[in-house]
Chains A and B, each alone.
Chain A
Amino acid sequence: GAVVSQHPSWVICKSGTSVKIECRSLDFQATTMFWYRQFPKQSLMLMATSNEGSKATYEQGVEKDKFLINHASLTLSTLTVTSAHPEDSSFYICSARKAGGFYSNQPQHFGDGTRLSIL
């Protein structure tokens, strides 16, 4: 159980276009979802945290207008990279966590990631 599906797994597009990445929790309800960016041989960098039905909380230095996050349901969050440019090329990973009360011991479940290449 606790499967997170991320789609697409790889996308190549032209500079200036917008790209949407979907993250779905297939067999559980995810009240919180996380979006990470990862460069080769580096660690995961948290971009934003989203809670269902509310605005995402972005980490310092992450452009909110550039990386639009929507968490409209308990099983789906989307990341849209707007007007993408070559410097946005990276590996993007989503992660989802179930609700767990004030003290949560719920683990985070990760999607398989999306490789984004902007030409």
Chain B
Amino acid sequence: AQTVTQSQPEMSVQEAETVTLSCTYDTSESDYYLFWYKQPPSRQMILVIRQEAYKQQNATENRFSVNFQKAAKSFSLKISDSQLGDAAMYFCAYRTTRTGANSKLTFGKGITLSVRP
């Protein structure tokens, strides 16, 4: 079974600075998807960024980028120019590419990010 590990429960960053959130995962599959979701205090789940394992290029979305290290099974999220609105809980998630019974998101425990003004 796949597992996703987020070992840091909390992090803090100064506004306008850069922060990196760590995530590791374990799988025997060669092709899969990785995601970062943001959950602000409103508790809505917002997709931040997505990475296909077969792509070597790291995904980027504006101020958000990932460092995907497939061999190390590491998938960290970098937030540049942090803003107050980035304060939220962030979840790393894994999903197989196959449909069927196992085609579900496996979430990490999450990390609470606070942004200092």
Contact = CB atoms under 8 A, between A and B. Distances in A.
B99 A43 contact: no
A105 B47 CA distance: 14
B107 A44 contact: yes
Contact of A105 (B43, B44, B97, B109): B97
Contacts of B101: 49, 57
B21 interface: no
Interface in B65-112: 89, 91, 97-99, 101, 103-105, 107-110, 112
Contact of A41 (B47, B52, B112): B112
Given A103-B97, A104-B97, A42 B44 contact: no
Nearest to B89: A41
B102 to A, nearest CB: 10
Contacts of B91: 43-44
A101 interface: yes
A112 B44 contact: yes
A25 B89 CA distance: 25
Interface string A56-90: 01000000000000000000000000000000000
A118 to B, nearest CB: 18
A108 interface: yes
